[in-house]
Amino acid sequence: MEQNKTKLSDNERIKRESNYLRGTIAEGLKDPITGAISPDDNQLLKFHGSYQQDDRDVRDERRRKKLEPDYQFMIRVRMPGGLATPKQWLEMDRLATTYANGTLKLTTRQTFQLHGVLKWNLKQTMKEINEALFTTLAACGDVNRNVMCTPNPNLSDVHYEVYEAAKKISDHLLPQTPAYHEIWLDGEKVIDTSVGQEIEPIYGPTYLPRKFKIGIAVPPSNDVDIYSQDLGFIAIEEDGELKGFNVAVGGGMGMTHGDYRTYPQIARVIGFCPTDKVVDVAEKIVLVQRDYGNRSNRKNARLKYTIDSRGIEWFKTELQNRLGWELEEARPFHFTHTGDQFGWVKGNKKWHLTLFIPSGRVKDDEETQFLTGLREIAKIHTGEFRLTPNQNVIIANITAKKKKEIEKLVEQYHLAGGTYASPLWQNSMSCVGFPTCGLAMAESERYFPTLLKKIEAITKEVGLKQNEIVIRMSGCPNGCSRPALAEIGFIGKAPGKYNLYLGGGFAGNRLNKLYKENIGEKEILEALYPIFQHYAKERKEGERFGDFVIRTGYVEEVHSGLDFHGSKTVKNI
Amino acid sequence: MQFNVNNSPFNEEQREYLNRLIPTLTEAQKIWLCGFLSYPFIAGYEQSVQVDQTAAPKMEQSIQTREVTVLFGSETGNGQSLASTIVEKLQAKQLPVQSFSMDDFKPQNLKKVQDLLIITSTHGEGEPPENARSFYEFLHSKRAPKLENVRFSVLALGDESYEFFCQTGKDFDKRLEELGGERLYPRVDCDVDFEDPAEQWMSGVVAVLHETSNANASTITVSEKQAAATLLEEKQSVYSKKNPYPAEVLENINLNGRGSNKETRHLVLSLEDSGLTFEPGDSLAILPENDPELVDSLINELGWNPEESVQINEEGDIYSLRKALLSKFEITRLTKSFIQAAAELFHHEELKKLAEPGNEEKVKAYLDGRDLLDFVRDFPPVQLKPVDFIQILRKLPARQYSIASSLKANPDEVHLTISTVRFQAHGRNRKGVCSSQIAERIQPGDMLPIYVDQNPNFKLPSNPDTPIIMIGPGTGVAPFRAFLQEREAEGVTGKSWLFFGDQHFSSDFLYQVEWQKWLKNGVLTKMDVAFSRDQAEKVYVQHRMLEKRKEFYQWLEDGAVVYVCGDEKHMARDVHQTILTILEKEGGLTSEQAAVYLDQMRKQKRYQRDVY
């Protein structure tokens, strides 16, 4: 740490030298000898909404064949609150089948991802996404990412106002560099001669030290996992009116195995701000992080570490100084769950249908035809689509007239029911993992259903069939599926090996704790079996699984990320 | 090597002694002697003795201390930063040291390494980190050299919570010992908190290296070891076309990725102790065997006993029928003379008619794409004896392949790039004799009889500054791999430009990562590729040449040598035509003048082709 403090991380050099995110991306796209772009450009490409990946299933095989890895690109869309029109859905569907791997990935941050796009098609795909009135700018990278917001319009009258807030924050924090237009949309090259005019008034030339995530929750739903966000806003509704937001700061999932200076952390509520101040508050918090975040060690660069190393009081003061006013005292709120409410509901005089999408992967297989089914629905739907923070989809604002037709399509393509109708499945999430994710240490999306079926068999056997338990799996400790907040969390360590965590809060308000380290399927099932049995027999009325394992001593309760590793935690200076 | 008045500074009497003594010395003795004799000069003794600089230029630096090579395998960067730390520590003690990521280290240089320090992490279920995999596999393969004079030590990084804790480090440690290396300091296995044990390993290693440096007068430098090796290599090989060398197969892999329509084999053969030498541009001949299935079908069709003895040559060698058809005679191709001879022997009316004068066109049409099995099915012989049948068969010819490696880069090895031939004809699947044998029946460890076929008409320019343009789609790229290996080994700095093409970028880009490395380090100046089936319209190398015609012409004017290797019928013709077009368009020549220009280039050996 000490030696690192003086030396900036290499990503800082890349950003500084990139001329506002240009680097040599445009040149790299044209190099016919490789399907990749340079390592430096890779870091920059993230800011444009794309990651270079490769098919890791064949990486080793190709190396022996003296072929470079099977490089391909993931493209992530930026769509605040997960909102897409039917036309946009159809466009994404077309791009997925034309340039990507024929599937649409709905992410845990309410957006679309395309996987498997070749370098030669990258520019064209980006262009067409923009033509569909989406952007990919700042969907990844050291900037504010896609802003999440509770998508369920039937839940509250204030939903539209909340969505507007999410969109405003997202737009306000969007990078201003013309590089994006130049590279992807054949925009005019802008020569930076205008002295005094700032290209990135908020971010500056080196952007943020690390990624920055914002989400807005509308209680009682905590579907956006407000405690996992760098910055969370909790909508406060009084008498059917949106009064403003409680502000929560310093949450985040990512950690590194074996590095006890890193840990998942839950955001802490520091006050309340009125609705019209929400953009200002977001901007100022981003600025504090821009100026104080750790730029030498990327593993300690998220806002949670900035706050934990300097103290929450310091942070509040710093924020107040920049705002020029003080946050009000936080208002009362209550979360009851993180999961989605499936099926048909009526709200705002329209119908809404929430469908469970296994691992958020919209594809066709023998059992279900989500890709075709949702395409057919998009063709006739007059409302909109809303991607949920649990990787599911809401077909929102369906007229009474269309309801019948859509019901028919749901049935025809097997989009509801079946295996996935059980509460265990519907409260589950897994990240992408192998073969495309470069960070994956173990399988996730491809293996999770297998494991879940076996876990479900145990719950049925011990009589827990109708119980909701939040189970999440991530292929690595970066935690895209937010496993550290699950009642049962699996974090990959090596092929076939996972750390098993227990005791997260059902409403996403408590981190879980390591129960067994580095175990395979057999040991996982052996570890869970007696606990399920115990839970079935001795749980108190309404007691959640996550609470039960703490009360009965399987794991200790975690109050803060600083307790996550227990005595092993190393405090950041 | 013989010393005489012209090549050495010795008098008659000394020469005689030396010429008698030197051939009896082992390599180790020679190396020792080099160091021993030169030590006083370096150490500053006997300064009155004059050393002839031109005769013994390499003796001068002979008694440097041993060089340390640090190789690291690292995914998270810990290994890499430890490597730079120990490099600093060694440099502080004035010890010569080089450090490489295992990926950047050429495995063939392992032979030259003296003191080897390995720092590596372990991943997943005991696997090496990404940038260590190739080196790890090389070291654990049959290709790994003996490391008798090498001292080594291993620092292993890992995580104790994993079952295969520090496995890669353990593997390296064990393997280096197996290869004859001497462990200079015991391996240290580090857990996640690696700093302290790593520090302990580093001080231990540095202490040993420091203590033993300068102490050993007989240590020698790399250049002398090479000089000694060259002395030994100059003997003539006893192997030739008449007496093929049984070469051990070291590696046999399919270069094409998933989804390819092709199968291109990369074959590595050992030349160890064969004394065989070659230059880039030469070919290697393989004596193949026929497909046993085809041989058995043929014998079965004829209703013969496969074990029946037959005389296979005039020398009177006796083989079983099956073995003779497998290894001595061609059964996959028919010739006109065979038809004539068979007409005499088969007692088949229709065949007799076919062989009559005037039916030449019919015979020609029949021969196309048919083999012996088709023939005996179409014209079943009556009372034919195996021994007579054998008499009229053609001897199984050797198959030539352009060599894909340089001896300077890969001593004791020869690499080939072989396209597996498979096609359908007359309702049956057909296979190339040699290529399908290699693709389907040859494993590492098997032996293949080979000899070198020199090709003086496909050679790198003698002037290293002469630019070269290489056009080699498909397996035609093989000799250019040899060219670039050679130029890299020799440090040639002249410009080079490669045109390559195949069907698909993602599956058929033969040796892709090697070209990428050479482009990066400047051994290859430019590369253009054409993948014919990645877009609606077919694109070939000649299209790329035309696109770059201005530059292409400039290179020609600058004296570039143009090499073309590969398919004769289509590619080489199209490329030839394209060069003419470029000369016309860019040089303002008439078509006659362009033809003269290209012919002139050919005469000056500036247009060389190896086409088939």
pLDDT tens profile A274-331 = 999 999 999 999 999 999 999 999 999 999 999 999 999 999 999 999 999 999 999 9
For the cut 50, the answer to whether the pLDDT of residue A561 exceeds it is yes
- Asked if residues A65 and B512 have their Cβ atoms less than 8 Å apart, the reply is no
Tell me whether residue A437 is in a domain: yes
User: Which of A255-264, A296-305, A467-476, B236-245 has the weakest average pLDDT?
Assistant: B236-245
One-letter identity of residue A435: P
Could you confirm whether A213 is annotated as catalytic? Answer: yes
pLDDT of residue B265: 98
Mean pLDDT of all residues in chain A?
Answer: 94
For the cut 90, the answer to whether the pLDDT of residue B214 exceeds it is no
Could you confirm whether A145 is annotated as catalytic? Answer: yes
For the cut 90, the answer to whether the pLDDT of residue B231 exceeds it is no
- Asked if residues B121 and B77 have their Cβ atoms less than 8 Å apart, the reply is no
pLDDT of residue B44: 42
Which residues of A413-525 form beta strands (DSSP E)? 428-430, 471-474, 488-494, 497-502, 513-519
Tell me whether residue A501 is in a domain: yes
User: A58, B255: Cβ pair inside 8 Å?
Assistant: no
Contact residues for A183 (Cβ-Cβ < 8 A; gap 6+): A22, A25, A26, A29, A48, A123
One-letter identity of residue B430: R
At B425 the three-state DSSP class reads strand
Q: How far apart are alpha carbons B121 and B399 in whole angstroms?
A: 45
Number of structural domains, chain A?
1
pLDDT of residue A434: 94
For chain A, report the end-to-end CA distance as a whole number of angstroms.
Answer: 8
Q: Chain B within 8 Å of A2 (Cβ-Cβ)?
A: no
User: A58, B266: Cβ pair inside 8 Å?
Assistant: no
Tell me whether residue A502 is in a domain: yes
Catalytic residue among A149, A431, A493, A544: A431
Going by pLDDT thresholds of 50, 70 and 90, the confidence category of residue B35 is low
Mean pLDDT of all residues in chain B?
Answer: 88
For the cut 60, the answer to whether the pLDDT of residue A573 exceeds it is no
Domain range for A493 is: 425-563
Would you state the structure tokens that stand for residue B61, as one six-digit string? 């630096």
Would you state the structure tokens that stand for residue B516, as one six-digit string? 């990428």
Q: CB contacts < 8 Å between A and B, how many?
A: 72
Tell me whether residue A304 is in a domain: no
Query: Which residues of A are known binding-site members?
Result: 431, 437, 476, 480
Would you state the structure tokens that stand for residue A88, as one six-digit string? 């946009």
Q: How far apart are alpha carbons B353 and B355 in whole angstroms?
A: 5
Question: Higher model confidence: residue B608 or residue B192?
Answer: B608
Q: How big is chain A, counted in residues?
A: 573
Query: Which residues of A are known binding-site members for [4Fe-4S] cluster?
Result: 431, 437, 476, 480
Q: How far apart are alpha carbons A106 and A359 in whole angstroms?
A: 8
Cis previous bond, A205, omega within 30 = no
User: B258, A67: Cβ pair inside 8 Å?
Assistant: no
pLDDT, tens only, A85-114: 999 999 999 999 999 999 999 999 999 999
Question: Higher model confidence: residue A179 or residue A153?
Answer: A179
Tell me whether residue A59 is in a domain: no
Cis previous bond, A220, omega within 30 = yes
Q: How far apart are alpha carbons B244 and B238 in whole angstroms?
A: 9
The CA distance from A363 to the nearest CA of chain B, in Å, is 22
pLDDT of residue B237: 78
Alpha-carbon A96 to chain mean position? 20
User: A494, B506: Cβ pair inside 8 Å?
Assistant: no
pLDDT, tens only, A436-474: 999 999 999 999 999 999 999 999 999 998 899 999 999
Would you state the structure tokens that stand for residue B101, as one six-digit string? 């990521």
Tell me whether residue A474 is in a domain: yes
For the cut 80, the answer to whether the pLDDT of residue B19 exceeds it is no
pLDDT of residue B72: 93
For the cut 50, the answer to whether the pLDDT of residue B429 exceeds it is yes
For the cut 80, the answer to whether the pLDDT of residue A197 exceeds it is no
User: B133, A60: Cβ pair inside 8 Å?
Assistant: yes
Q: Please report, for the domain that includes residue A483, its CATH number.
A: 3.30.413.10
At A272 the three-state DSSP class reads strand
Q: Across residues B30-50, what is the average pLDDT?
A: 50
User: Which residues in chain B have Cβ-Cβ distances shorter than 8 Å to A56?
Assistant: none
Beta bridge partners of B319: B310
Contact residues for B544 (Cβ-Cβ < 8 A; gap 6+): B499, B501, B528, B529, B530
User: Which residues in chain B have Cβ-Cβ distances shorter than 8 Å to A68?
Assistant: 509, 512-513, 516
Could you confirm whether A437 is annotated as catalytic? Answer: yes
Contact residues for A57 (Cβ-Cβ < 8 A; gap 6+): A434, A435
- Asked if residues A447 and A524 have their Cβ atoms less than 8 Å apart, the reply is no
pLDDT of residue A479: 93
Could you confirm whether A13 is annotated as catalytic? Answer: no
Identify which of A70, A78, A174, A75 has the alpha carbon closest to the alpha carbon of residue A125: A75
- Substitution target in A37, A58, A67, A297 with the highest count of B β-carbons within 10 Å is A67
Could you confirm whether A273 is annotated as catalytic? Answer: no
Going by pLDDT thresholds of 50, 70 and 90, the confidence category of residue B11 is low
Going by pLDDT thresholds of 50, 70 and 90, the confidence category of residue A189 is low
How much of chain A exceeds pLDDT 90, in percent? 90
- Asked if residues B551 and B512 have their Cβ atoms less than 8 Å apart, the reply is no
pLDDT, tens only, A527-550: 999 999 999 999 999 999 999 999
User: Which of A2-6, A445-449, B11-15, B47-51 has the weakest average pLDDT?
Assistant: B47-51
For the cut 80, the answer to whether the pLDDT of residue B259 exceeds it is yes
Phi/psi-derived region of residue A23, left when phi > 0, alpha when psi is between -120 and 50, beta in every other case:
left
| Residue with token string 């950041």 | A572
Tell me whether residue A526 is in a domain: yes
pLDDT of residue B222: 42
Alpha-carbon A63 to chain mean position? 32
Could you confirm whether A493 is annotated as catalytic? Answer: no
| Residue with token string 């078509």 | B591
DSSP, res A36? S
Whether the CA torsion A335, A338, A342, A347 is positive or negative: it is positive
Q: Across residues B128-140, what is the average pLDDT?
A: 88
Interior angle at CA B262, CA B530 and CA B287, nearest 5? 115
pLDDT of residue A420: 73
How much of chain A exceeds pLDDT 70, in percent? 96
Q: Chain A within 8 Å of B161 (Cβ-Cβ)?
A: yes
pLDDT of residue B74: 82
> Which helix (H) or strand (E) covers residue A162, if one does?
helix A159-172
- Asked if residues A162 and A242 have their Cβ atoms less than 8 Å apart, the reply is yes
pLDDT, tens only, A347-404: 878 999 999 999 999 999 998 999 999 999 999 999 999 999 999 999 999 999 999 9
For the cut 50, the answer to whether the pLDDT of residue B61 exceeds it is no
User: A67, B509: Cβ pair inside 8 Å?
Assistant: yes
Tell me whether residue A78 is in a domain: no
